[in-house]
Amino acid sequence: QCQLSGLWRNEQDSLMEISAVRDDGDFQGRYLTRVTLAGGCAHISPLKGVQQQPGEGGWPTFAFTVRWDKFSNATTAFAGQCFVDTGGKETLTTTWLLREAVGSLEDDWKATR
């Protein structure tokens, strides 16, 4: 079984810490990003999410959002799944969408990455 709670590091050297996953699947934590649109130092931002525990023998799926705190006018949503290899190593795979605020409806097309 894959456990989301704990400390995770991605290939960009950002860190994510997830507190205990509640019985209903809700969790929260913090995301320390080393990748910012403006460059510069790492920033810690809060995250909230939910895990869907599959039936017997499956790997859990999850989704969470990060509200980039005090350094960006953007929000990111991640959706993914947790896997465990034969050696017991846990791996999270995700797809993400980053939404920046724009000043007009005409600029909506360039606001999501």
Counting residues of the chain whose pLDDT is more than 90, the rounded percentage is 54
- In the chain, where are the structural domains located? 6-110
Residue 46, strand partner residues: 30
What is the arithmetic mean of pLDDT over 31-50? 76
Residue 20 confidence (pLDDT)? 85
Domain 6-110 part of CATH 2.130.10.10? no
Give residue-wise pLDDT tens across range 57-81. 678 999 999 988 766 778 899 999 9
Q: How far apart are CA 110 and CA 48, in angstroms?
A: 25
Nearest to 69 by CA among 100, 38, 47: 47
Residue 37 confidence (pLDDT)? 55
- Considering only residues 62 and 32, tell me which one the structure prediction assigns the higher pLDDT: 62
Q: How far apart are CA 41 and CA 50, in angstroms?
A: 29
Is residue 40 pLDDT above 80, yes or no? no
Q: How far apart are CA 48 and CA 32, in angstroms?
A: 14
Give residue-wise pLDDT tens across range 46-55. 999 999 977 7
Please, are residues 49 and 75 in contact by the beta-carbon 8 Å criterion?
no
Cα-flanking dihedrals φ and ψ of residue 26, to 5°?
-70, 145
Lookup: tokens for 45 = 């931002």
Residue 6 confidence (pLDDT)? 92
